[in-house]
């Protein structure tokens, strides 16, 4: 690892932050040490970095805004790559080209300011464009799949290719990238419709008020824990109806406000959150026979 990091430094790939707690970079505010977080300056440097990772056989992961991840408390013996420098947002009439590190909320807000419709669902989703495309993030019966025309990716053999919307194979909280975890999203092209700026702003204001009331936004979380199961009530209702709201493990709690959120109420460890998620999953299985799918990604638990 030392030799690898020296070479990253020598090649001027970008900022390196060493031996830092992942809890600073995740919305759950949990997670152990990581050997380094690297911020490549541009695509060429990212390609160089990926080649070095391969040469030294280093474990790695792309970290967006950490808003859908549950890292364990143990040290991640690898590196995280953050694409903060890939944050360009360019508008061409109703087409937007956004870097993978750009904030989804910012892209949505800027679009609405220009009277462009289609990203209203995204104004409350605290992810990056890369993380949103990977997850096919969505809300209010819409998602990235409805608005994304194409995605530029770096493949695992260091080629830069563009995948069409069809090739991205977007489904409910699922995309092509989840089945190709070594591909890196560099950029997404989004196409929106012309709309009425004031009407769009009203929709967003109304939804914001609803979110503030219905979600525990004053505590660290990673949004919905479980996907909604097909042909059944939403996960939150299933959990609430078996009386699990307010249940705690250590500092983690099934939110009193929304049962599909687990919050870091009081200095929870990653293990507290992990154990509570699995407890709720088992309880729902026992009670209804429904095997809920976890929407959040567990990292470094093996
Ligand atoms: C308060 C709150 C509310 C939320 N509400 C919603 C909601 O309404 N709808 C919804 O869908 N989600 C919601 N989420 C969850 C989360 O914001 C989304 O899943 C978001 O898309 C994750 O983006 P991220 O940048 O944080 O990705 P991360 O959590 O950092 O990463 C998620 C995955 O994407 C991968 N990834 C990230 N960037 C790239 C890239 N450039 N190339 C390849 N892979 C990449 C990571 O390796 C990881 O596997 C919410 C979260 C919170 C905290």
Q: Are residues 120 and 190 in the same domain?
A: yes
**Around 38, how many Cα atoms within 13 Å sit in the side-chain half-sphere?**
31
**301 C-alpha to ligand 1 centroid (Å):** 19
pLDDT at 281 over 90: yes
Q: Does residue 210 lie within any of the structural domains?
A: no
Q: Does residue 250 lie within any of the structural domains?
A: yes
297 is catalytic: no
Q: Does residue 240 lie within any of the structural domains?
A: yes
Looking at residue 181, its pLDDT comes to 86
Please state the φ and ψ torsions of residue 97, each to the nearest 5 degrees.
-110, 120
The CA distance from 1 to 16, in Å, is 13
Cβ neighbourhood burial of 121 (10 Å; 0-12, 13-18, 19+)? buried
pLDDT at 295 over 90: yes
Q: Does residue 134 lie within any of the structural domains?
A: yes
173 is catalytic: yes
**Residue 12: partners with Cβ closer than 8 Å, 6 or more residues away:** 41, 45
pLDDT at 168 over 90: yes
Q: Are residues 101 and 163 in the same domain?
A: yes
pLDDT at 112 over 90: yes
Residue 100 in contact with ligand 1 by CB distance below 6 A: yes
Question: Which residue CA neighbors atom 4 of ligand 1 most closely?
Answer: 223
110 — pLDDT class (breaks 50, 70, 90) = very high
Q: Which of 50, 82, 114 is the last residue of a domain?
A: 82
Instruction: Give the mutation target among 223, 226, 258 for probing the ligand 1 site: most ligand atoms within 8 A of CB.
Output: 223
**222 C-alpha to ligand 1 centroid (Å):** 8
Q: Are residues 94 and 175 in the same domain?
A: yes
Question: Which residue CA neighbors atom 14 of ligand 1 most closely?
Answer: 223
Q: Are residues 231 and 281 in the same domain?
A: yes
Say how many domains are in the chain. Answer: 3
Q: Are residues 161 and 135 in the same domain?
A: yes
Which SS3 state, helix, strand or coil, does residue 265 take?
coil
Over residues 89-97, mean pLDDT = 97
Alpha helices in the chain (DSSP H): 2-10, 43-56, 104-113, 129-135, 144-147, 165-168, 197-214, 235-241, 270-288
Read off the pLDDT of residues 23-39 as tens digits, 9 standing for 90 and up.
Answer: 999 999 999 999 999 99
Over residues 238-250, mean pLDDT = 98
Q: Are residues 103 and 131 in the same domain?
A: yes
Q: Does residue 207 lie within any of the structural domains?
A: no
Q: Are residues 192 and 223 in the same domain?
A: no
Residue that the structure tokens 């830092």 belong to: 20
Residue 31 in contact with ligand 1 by CB distance below 6 A: no
276: CATH:
3.90.78.10
150: CATH:
3.30.465.10
| Residue range of the domain that includes 264 | 216-299
**Angle at the Cα of 108 (from 30 to 80), degrees rounded to 5?**
35
Over residues 122-140, mean pLDDT = 96
The CA distance from 169 to 183, in Å, is 14
Q: Are residues 61 and 105 in the same domain?
A: no
Instruction: Give the mutation target among 62, 78, 258 for probing the ligand 1 site: most ligand atoms within 8 A of CB.
Output: 62
The gap from C-alpha 268 to its chain's centroid, in whole angstroms, comes to 20
Over residues 46-63, mean pLDDT = 97
The CA distance from 127 to 159, in Å, is 25
pLDDT at 256 over 90: yes
**92 C-alpha to ligand 1 centroid (Å):** 26
Q: Which of 33-37, 148-152, 209-213 has the lowest mean pLDDT?
A: 209-213
Q: Does residue 208 lie within any of the structural domains?
A: no
* Average pLDDT of every residue of the chain: 97
**What share of the chain in percent tops pLDDT 70?**
100
Looking at residue 197, its pLDDT comes to 95
pTM above the 0.85 mark?
Answer: yes
Q: Are residues 196 and 233 in the same domain?
A: no
**31 C-alpha to ligand 1 centroid (Å):** 16
57 — pLDDT class (breaks 50, 70, 90) = very high
């Amino acid at each position: 690892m030392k030799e690898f990091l020296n070479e990253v430094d020598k090649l001027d790939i970008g900022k390196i932050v060493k031996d830092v707690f992942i809890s600073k970079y995740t919305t759950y505010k949990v997670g152990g040490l990581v050997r380094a977080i690297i911020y490549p300056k541009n695509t060429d440097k990212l390609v160089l970095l990926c080649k070095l990772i391969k040469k030294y056989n280093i474990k790695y992961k792309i970290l967006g805004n950490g808003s859908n991840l549950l890292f364990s408390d143990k040290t991640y013996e690898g590196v995280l790559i953050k694409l903060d420098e890939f944050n360009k947002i360019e508008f061409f009439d109703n087409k937007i080209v956004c870097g993978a590190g750009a904030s989804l909320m910012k892209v949505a807000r800027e679009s609405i300011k220009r009277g462009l419709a289609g990203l209203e669902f995204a104004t409350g989703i605290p992810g990056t464009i890369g993380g949103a495309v990977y997850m096919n993030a969505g809300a209010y019966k819409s998602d990235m799949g409805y608005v994304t025309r194409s995605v530029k990716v770096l493949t695992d053999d260091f080629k830069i290719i563009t995948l069409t919307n069809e090739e991205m194979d977007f489904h409910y909280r699922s995309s092509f990238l989840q089945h190709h975890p070594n591909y890196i999203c560099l950029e997404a092209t989004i196409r929106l419709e012309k709309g009425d700026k004031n009407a769009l702003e009203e929709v967003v204001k109304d939804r914001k008020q609803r979110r503030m009331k219905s979600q525990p936004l004053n505590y660290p979380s990673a949004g919905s824990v479980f996907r909604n199961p097909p042909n059944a009530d939403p996960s939150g209702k299933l959990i609430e109806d078996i009386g699990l709201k307010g249940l705690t493990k250590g500092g983690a709690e099934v939110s009193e406000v929304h049962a599909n959120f687990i919050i870091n109420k009081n200095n929870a460890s990653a293990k507290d959150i992990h154990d509570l998620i699995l407890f709720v999953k088992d309880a729902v299985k026992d009670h209804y026979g429904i095997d809920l799918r976890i929407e959040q990604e567990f990292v470094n638990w093996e």
